[in-house]
Amino acid sequence: MSNIHNEMALENLYEIAIEEDKKGSIDGEINRIAFETGLHADDDRDDILQKIAEDRFELYDSAPNQDPTLKELEARICACGELIEKCPDAYEHMTQGA
Ligand SMILES: [Zn+2]
């Protein structure tokens, strides 16, 4: 993956996190990051969303034999905000909404 590609993927993941936050679907994740980092869930919202994007990006980046396209990155996040491979009810969430 090129650096530009990395930056685009990270930016894309950040945009996804913002959208998920608007829908209220990642409150649990936001609270977890706030707890772990000491950031404030409301005051430091942008920083937390950025951290969520970075965490997700690292997960993708550490996955072997993968050079995912942006579309694939997007497709790998369940409607509930979890990665599809981590979500126990991915099929239900993706077909019915989280
Ligand atoms: Zn899910």
Q: What is the pLDDT of residues 69-98, one digit of tens each?
A: 666 666 677 888 888 778 888 878 878 765
Distance 90 CA to ligand 1 centre (A): 4
Q: How far is residue 36's CA from residue 80's CA, in Å, rounded to a whole number?
A: 21
Is the whole-model pTM more than 0.85?
no
Distance 41 CA to ligand 1 centre (A): 22
Judge residue 24's burial from the number of C-beta atoms within 10 Å of its C-beta, 0-12 exposed, 13-18 middle, 19 or more buried. Answer: exposed
Distance 91 CA to ligand 1 centre (A): 7
Pick the most confident of 45-49, 52-56, 72-76, 79-83.
Answer: 45-49
Distance 21 CA to ligand 1 centre (A): 15
pLDDT at 1 over 50: no
User: What's the confidence (pLDDT) of residue 39?
Assistant: 96
Listed residue (87, 64, 89, 65) closest to 76, CA to CA:
87
- Kindly state the percentage of the chain with pLDDT values over 90: 43
User: What's the confidence (pLDDT) of residue 70?
Assistant: 62
Compute the C-alpha angle 81/95/23, nearest 5°. Answer: 35
Write out the H or E segment, with its range, that includes residue 66. Answer: none
Distance 85 CA to ligand 1 centre (A): 9
Q: Which range of residues forms the domain containing residue 51? A: 3-69
- Long-range contacts at 27-34 (CB < 8 A, ≥ 24 apart): 28/81, 29/81
90 domain-assigned: no
92 domain-assigned: no
21 domain-assigned: yes
pLDDT at 5 over 70: yes
Listed residue (43, 42, 45) closest to 53, CA to CA:
45
12 domain-assigned: yes
89 domain-assigned: no
Distance 34 CA to ligand 1 centre (A): 21
96 domain-assigned: no
Give the number of domains in the chain.
1
95 domain-assigned: no
75 domain-assigned: no
